[in-house]
Structure 1
Amino acid sequence: MDDNALYKLICDELETNEFNREMCTRFPPEPNGFLHIGSAYAIHTNYMMAKEFNGTFHLRLDDTNPLKEDITYVNAIIEDIKWLGYDPGEHIYYGSDYSEEIYQAAITLIKRGKAYVCDLSPEEMRDYRGTLTEPGKNSPYRERSIEENLELFRNMKKGIYPNASKVLRAKIDMHSPNLTLRDPVIYRIIHATHYRTGHAWCIYPMYDFAHPIQDAMEGITYSLCSLEFRDHRPLYEWVLHELEVPEPPRQREFGRLNLTGVVTSKRFLRQLVEGGFVDGWDDPRLPTIQGLRRRGFTPSSIRNFIDEIGSIRSYSTVDISLLDHCLRQDLKDQSVSLMAVIQPLKVVITNYPEDGLEWLSIENNTQNESLGKREVPFTRTIYIERDDFMEDPPKGFHRLTLHGEVRLKGAYFIRCEEVVKDPVTGDITELRCTYDPLTKSGTGFTDRKVKGTIQWVSADHAVTADVHLYDRLLLEQEEASDDEGDWAHRVNPASLVAVQDALFEPSMKHIQPDQKFQCFRHGYFHVDSKNTTVDRLVVNRIVPLKDSWNKR
């Protein structure tokens, strides 16, 4: 982390004002949705900072809003963080476990004249707040006595008042140029069932109030968060100061990660999921960790991607092709090779024996020699990729043509002698070819050369599967704007192309559920465990072979 600006800042601070405890950082997600690639960047920043200083890393579920949170999200967040390789071990905490301590902190502020119960409606509060150019106005309830505020707040806790009828506000400065300090709400009434505490509480603290208290209780040294919380830092420090916390935690910010053509706003992701534009939170087109896992991404590829980005100092947009590049680099040395024909075209080799069968040894397309070779069956009838044949090819086409010759990968040269077409549609239904037995790969019987090599699958031994091919979810390149409700025009209709009855060589039967494999020319693939059934195999393309980032 030597080139990390945040790391250097912390080093400079610790030189002059060191803590009397070990470095401790935290990641505090609200369990109201799933983690995404931007979350991974924040987790990585906190985890690696703790590791750099031989400290500890905490996961704290910020579950103080029962209207949105659910145990499903909690379990997914914990699972995703461990899968990414940032295991917090025993340091998993819940904000709701601190409910009594946070409540008592609010009582302390009231007793010190630093908080008051306000009866303004949400609409009235917005009017009183002012704007960036106009100061706010004091609430008519701001000067309630300490005794009255204590009684009202305790009655709020008892459940006497309905939702939104009263709030507890910090008494700071309605004229502050920082709108966050204009008497922010620190407690609100919510009559709802909490997934952990049930009906034990009907008042819940706001994040800006609960967060610094939770940090102090856990011994957090640095609260590292993204730049949108920069204006909230004075409130974070105000809470700790007014509660007289010794050696208070320090909030420091880093840049927010955005990716071209990718939605990283949890609110927008929810709209896509609930609007039915995608197949749930784990849709392989989404940048959620669940979606990336289902697509076939590896934890190391995501970590390498974050390392490549380095320290982000401001709001930055990174080209999504860098993430794909890191994935290819990770997969190329660990993926076995298979031949697959996604759009099959039948080929009959007329001069090969009708009952002929031979097993050809083909090397894996990988730099990892330990993955070795595999045996592939060769027969009279095979399938090739439909795009690998053109009857009237353009200049530069080096695959199979009528009266042209091409090598079958790991096998023989074949020559197309005849094209068979459907008499009604005119579509090509079959190619009739001949093979040259002296051109068997690896024998060295011939010095003849051909310019093209294509893949193939034996018709008698092929494994059938459905293939899902993915492209960018959004039509535009930059991250989604605040234009809600327009997803129907912004989602790329070709972001998912589902191809039925693709054909794979028989080695596909030995692919394990979590194993990645490369298909010649098509890219890297992964079995979709969610959609695969006993009767139907479904395969996701993780990423194509073409690397636009590497070419740059």
Structure 2
Amino acid sequence: MSKTDTTPPAHFLRQIVKADQDSGKHSKIVTRFPPEPNGYLHIGHAKSICLNFGLAQEFGGECHLRFDDTNPAKEEQEYIDAILQDVEWLGFQWAGKVRHASDYFDQLHAWAIDLIKAGKAYVCELTPEQAREYRGTLTEPGKNSPFRERSVDENLDQFARMTAGEFPDGTKVLRAMIDMSAPNMNLRDPIIYRIRHAQHHQTGDKWCVYPSYDFTHGQSDAIEGITHSICTLEFEDHRPLYDWFLQNLPVPCQPRQYEFARLNLNYTVTSKRKLKQLVDEGHVSGWDDPRMSTLSAFRRRGYTPASIREFCERIGVTRSDGVVDMGMLEFCIRDDLDAHAPRAMCVLKPIKVVITNYPEGQVENLALPRHPKQDIGTRTLPFSREIYIDAGDYMVDPPKGYKRLVPGGEVRLRGSYVIRADEAVTDDAGNVVELRCSYDPDTLGKNPEGRKVKGVIHWVPAAESIECEVRLYDRLFTAPNPDKSDTGGGFLDNINPQSLITLTGCRAEPSLASASLDDRFQFEREGYFCLDSKDSTAERPVFNRTVTLRDSWGQ
């Protein structure tokens, strides 16, 4: 696609939706994004969000946000609030009110009774172990439950008593009566209701029986008039069951389910169970720890909604599973920030420089551009006798190709003068703690004729700079596939011990004192940074590294 062509690339779902609209099969496209509120959304969900909301937007339809909240034991309001924030942050707005599968519990319960009356559902009392034994295997058919022959009246009575709370959790379930010899194991009399004496975050104590996800999903789609129910490939084997329920219940419409390949990203885990384990065991500071794969973590780290939407568009939509390289996501954020992020200077490991021939008490206010290519104004940088540079920008015995300060050598200060290193002050251990330099007053922003200075380094004024903390984040795992461990210990064995390096006593240019949480900056020669949304204060700014200036992973 050319830079001037804004037509989205064709993929099979876009083609299906377009064909359905063009043929008149659907006059209005209605999709939905149906997260379970049992954890925070991760980067894989971003693909589904962009796909469902994006298709509805593209074809003039609407997309519903519906929480499939069928398991109150694992669901929390915290997760609901985080999901709402994530969807809005990505730049999408759902049609109408926020929906919940629990909104339809009365109707689902009535439909379960319809199945019982039709002789297509029964109450089963097999233990979980017995149920696994009766279910059969991929190569062997299952066998009928001894409770399958109960009469309709007995099943209605048993289900009513389940609903009334007469039985403990796990003692009885309601199962659909389909085919215990079906090659697709999802059709072997699946559970449609379980007993759970648990308070629900939406319905309170009204229910002690809850529908299964499989029983809820398709019927909720039908109630909402969903035209294209788009799921990831792991639901492909569930589609016959999705269709069976719709065909055997008096639903208002017949949605169609389509599947696409989920997003698999290397150096990352996206399993909610594993993400929760990382949080619960203290390997990270929370669901929004900037090393996590959650959308709230990417937001806190400084990723932009535009970069994630661009990433989801670039990786495409297929039916073939594959693994996307983390470098592509990092490229998208670099590309976005390079074009839009203002430049600033921050010295991560400061060492004081005294410019001995600069007049004491004199201050020059230098105007530096906020961006080298965008006309977004300038920022003011005071220059005086004492400044800070990075300790790594001075070496006594430098390697070949080193273009920064050396004894007797010259370097240009960004947007300022050429200075020469005349003397190094060391402590008792021989560490350089201060440099004495001289400047050439004829070199402000220019090289005089016949004079070449190869190196340019960043700096900040000593008096006016602000002290800050800088957190250098990197990938959380050292292995492309974190689940593969040489010791057999699983993904935790591959946690990167260098995934977070915290630097205190850093010095930032004074313009950063007015930075807001929505701002992103390129710290010259260091990477892209933003203020930490949780820990940063006006008195103690904390900057998170979003991404390095170039792909330096493994170097």
Task: Please report the TM-score for the alignment, with normalisation by the length of structure 2.
Answer: 0.95
Structure 1 residue 7: Cα displacement: 1.8
Question: Cα offset for 1:513?
Answer: 2.3
**Aligned CA distance change for structure 1 residues 447 and 237 (closer, same or farther; 3 Å):** same
Structure 1 residue 478: Cα displacement: 2.4
SS in structure 2 at match of 1:390: coil
RMSD (Å), alpha carbons? 1.8
Give ranges in structure 1 of 5+ residues lacking alignment. Answer: none
Task: Give the match for residue 436 of structure 1.
Answer: 440
Structure 2 residue aligned with 1:3: 10
**Aligned counterpart, 1:161:** 167
**Aligned partners of 2:177, 2:237: CA distance in 1, in Å?**
17
Q: Which moved more, 1:476-485 or 1:399-408?
A: 476-485
1:421: which partner in 2? Answer: 426
Match of 2:144 among 138, 144, 155: 138
Whole-Å separation in 2 of the counterparts to 1:311 and 1:534: 44
2:545 to 541, 545, 549: 541
Structure 2 counterpart SS, 1:400: coil
Code of the residue aligned with 2:481 in structure 1: it is E
Partner of 1:490: 494
Structure 1 residues 261-280: Cα deviation after superposition (integer angstroms, max 9, x where no partner): 01111111111111111111
The match for 2:264 among 258, 261, 271 is 258
Give, in whole Å, the separation in 2 of the partners of 1:185 and 1:242. Answer: 16
Q: Hey, what's the Cα distance between the residues in 1 that align with 2:540 and 2:356?
A: 32
Q: Deviations over 1:403-459 (max 9, x none)?
A: 111101111111111122112x221111111111111115x6554111110001111
The count of aligned residue pairs is 545
- What is the letter of the counterpart of residue 413 of structure 1? V
Aligned to 2:381, the other structure's residue is in SS state: strand
Structure 2 Cα separation of the partners of residues 342 and 459 of structure 1:
13
Larger mean Cα displacement after TM superposition, 259-268 or 327-336: 327-336
TM-score by length of 1: 0.95
Segment of structure 1 superposing worse, 253-262 or 51-60? 51-60
Code of the aligned partner of 1:245: V
In structure 2, do the counterparts of structure 1 residues 77 and 308 end up closer, same or farther at CA, with 3 Å as the change threshold? same
Q: Distance in 1 between matches of 2:42 and 2:30?
A: 23
Residue 277 of structure 2 is aligned to residue 277 of structure 1: no
Q: Secondary structure at the match of 1:229?
A: helix
3-state DSSP of counterpart to 1:461: coil
1:477 deviation in Å?
1.1
Residue of structure 1 equivalent to 2:5: none
Q: Given residue 380 of structure 2, which amino acid in structure 1 is its aligned partner?
A: E
- Gap runs ≥5 in structure 2: 1-7
Quote the Cα distance in structure 2 between the aligned partners of 1:120 and 1:43: 39
Conserved in 1, the CA contact under 8 Å of 2:21 and 2:28?
no
Residue by residue over 1:123-144, the C-alpha shift from the partner in whole angstroms, topping out at 9 and shown as x without a partner, is: 1111111111111111111111
2:4 paired residue number: none
Superposed counterparts of 1:46-125, under 5 Å: 46-125=52-131
How far did 1:106 drift?
Answer: 0.4
2:465 corresponding residue in structure 1:
462
Shift of 1:236: 0.1
Deviations 1:358-403 (CA, angstroms, capped at 9, x unpaired): 111212344211x122221111111111111111011111111111
Contact 1:180-1:231 within 8 A present in 2 as well: yes
Specify the SS of the correspondent of 2:264.
Answer: strand
Per the alignment, residue 412 of structure 2 pairs with 407
**In the alignment, what sits opposite 1:506?**
510
Matches of 2:536 and 2:491, distance apart in 1 = 28
Structure 1 CA distance for aligned equivalents of residues 31 and 84 of structure 2: 16
Residue deviations 1:518-548 (CA, integer Å, cap 9, x gap): 1110111101120013531111111111147
**Partners of 1:270 and 1:88 in 2: how far apart?**
27
- Residue by residue over 1:461-480, the C-alpha shift from the partner in whole angstroms, topping out at 9 and shown as x without a partner, is 11000001011001111253
Per-residue CA deviations over 1:303-356 (Å, capped at 9, x if unaligned) read 111111121322221111111111122112322211110011121111112222
Given the alignment, which residue of 350, 373, 376 partners 2:378? 373
Cα distance in 2 for residues equivalent to 1:459 and 1:144:
85
Distance 1:186 1:202 in 2: 14
Tell me: CA distance 1:17–1:132, structure 2 relative to 1, closer, same or farther (3 Å): farther
Query: After superposition, where does 1:225-240 map in structure 2 within 5 Å?
Result: 225-240=231-246
Contact preservation (8 Å) 1:257, 1:312: no
Q: Which residue type is aligned with residue 11 of structure 2?
A: N
Quickly say closer, same or farther: Cα 1:488–1:47, change in 2 above 3 A.
closer
Q: 1:187 to 1:260 in 2, by over 3 A?
A: same
Of 174, 182, 192, the residue aligned with 2:188 is 182
Query: Is 1:295 the counterpart of 2:298 in the alignment?
Result: no
